[in-house]
Amino acid sequence: MSYLFPTYARWEVEPVSAEGTYLTDINGITYLDYTSGIGVCNLGHQPKVIKEAVSKQLDHFWHVSNLFTIGQQEKAAQLLATAAGLEAVFFANSGAEANEAAIKLARKATGKTKIITFEKSFHGRTFATMAATGQDKIKLGYGPMLEKFVYVPFNNIDALKNEMDTDVAAIMLEVIQGEGGIHVGEQAFLQEVEELCKEYGSLLIIDEIQTGIGRTAKPFAFQHFDLTPDIVTVAKGLGSGLPIGAVIGKESLKVHFGPGSHGSTFGGNPVSISAAIATMEIIFNEIFLQEVLIKGEYLVSQLTKKLQNHESVKDIRGLGLMIGIEFDQPVQGLLQELRNEGFLALSAGENVLRLLPPLTTSISEIDKCVEIMKHTIEKTSKAAV
Ligand SMILES: Cc1ncc(COP(=O)(O)O)c(C=O)c1O
């Protein structure tokens, strides 16, 4: 019997070690891991540089409260804010906490209450972030929800315009919806969203929790779309596996998050911060990001070449190394078959298989991934006949 709440439908893979793009389980089976701990281990498992940075910090101190001046937090904040073109950072411990803080900040800064988000979005599982999430299944049984959240179809500007009024504190979105199925925002739509925010005095919050920290071959995915958000939230990849999240905002918002207005005991913990600094120093680098772009394009081109003619494959899409393959049926069975073949991948919604490889994956690992996928898809469809 398990003493854990069964909140996760767990796989029968019990890791005992992991390095780079590979993970070995208790039965001695080694898997090619294209999940990266759901977009967290962007530098692969156990990257040496992060390990060294963390152990160095452990030798100094692990935790002090945020009442202290913490030089490393200042450094991490500067790296994050500069990369995003913004000026103010609040450190939290997770994505949901970062979004929770962003929602609080938007209401406080604007004095308005309504938050518009999008159908199929995912923003977290706390009460505010669950309310922000545009998927009913996430909210089932937890009502009543926090008020004043409304949802409109993604990439539909007319539907959004219909919901705009002078009480809109913020529009909150993922430029690529991750959990909802790897839906990429359209450039014209995203730019009109920003214009609407300006017109109505609302803030634009971009949730980069899954898309940020180099995942799409830019520090932040919004940078593909020529946007200037008021607030950006990050987590997942920021700490390379150590828990950390952050709200990044404009200078003008600082006054609304003054002493006592928000806080977190563990937010910006020095150990996580040391991992975040080392992570950003590697990833926020043009040459590194250029390689992510090349590898992402190669992966999509190989998947397209080898899989697109397969009748069950409906679409292959994504940006950088955030890729979705849409099938004409649920992918859970296929994911199990892929695990049987030594390959770990994710779903995004029912019918989309999601690949989030470490950004450090190699071309030969990409070839291996595509070969396993092709072979497994062919095998499972033959078995279904
Ligand atoms: C876009 C997005 N926002 C928020 C979250 C919530 O992050 P966390 O699980 O760290 O609370 C996630 C997690 O998958 C996410 O993908």
Residue 68 pLDDT exceeds 60: yes
User: Sheet containing 22-25: which strands, arranged edge to edge?
Assistant: 15-19, 22-25, 30-33, 343-344
Binding residues for N(2)-acetyl-L-ornithine: 125, 264
| CATH number belonging to the domain at 15-33+286-384, selected among 3.20.20.100, 3.20.20.70, 3.90.1150.10, 3.30.70.270 | 3.90.1150.10
The confidence score (pLDDT) of residue 339 equals 98
The confidence score (pLDDT) of residue 308 equals 86
CATH number listed for the domain at residues 48-283: 3.40.640.10
Q: Whose CA is nearest to atom 7 of ligand 1?
A: 95
The confidence score (pLDDT) of residue 381 equals 76
- State pLDDT tens for residues 177-233: 999 999 999 999 999 999 999 999 999 999 999 999 999 999 999 999 999 999 999
Strands 114-118 and 168-173 turn out to be parallel
- State pLDDT tens for residues 98-133: 999 999 999 999 999 999 999 999 999 999 999 999
Binding residues for pyridoxal 5'-phosphate: 95-96, 122, 207-210, 265
Residue 244 pLDDT exceeds 80: yes
- State pLDDT tens for residues 282-291: 999 999 999 9
> Which residues surround ligand 1 with Cβ inside 6 Å?
94-96, 99, 122-124, 174, 178-179, 207, 209-210, 235
- Ordered by start, the domain boundaries in the chain are 15-33+286-384, 48-283
360 CA → ligand 1 middle, Å: 22
Average pLDDT over residues 307-336: 96
The mean pLDDT of the chain is 97
Distance (Å) of CA 173 to CA 127, 204, 261: 17, 8, 24
Q: Residue 158's pLDDT band (boundaries 50, 70, 90)? A: very high
Q: Is residue 104 a contact partner of residue 247, using CB atoms and an 8 Å limit?
A: no
- State pLDDT tens for residues 14-64: 999 999 999 999 999 999 999 999 999 999 999 999 999 999 999 999 999
3-state secondary structure of 343: strand
Average pLDDT over residues 57-72: 97
- Residue whose entry in the numeric block shows the structure tokens 């975040």: 276
378 CA → ligand 1 middle, Å: 33
**Cα gap 11→358, rounded to integer Å:** 20
The confidence score (pLDDT) of residue 223 equals 98
Nearest to residue 102, comparing CAs of 128, 127, 84, 77? 128
Q: Residue 384's pLDDT band (boundaries 50, 70, 90)? A: low
- What number of other Cβ atoms are within 10 A of residue 304's Cβ? 14
* Cβ-count burial 120-159 (b if 16+ within 10 Å, e if not): bbbbbebebbbbbbbbeebbeeeeeeeeebebbebbebee
161 CA → ligand 1 middle, Å: 27
Q: Residue 279's pLDDT band (boundaries 50, 70, 90)? A: very high
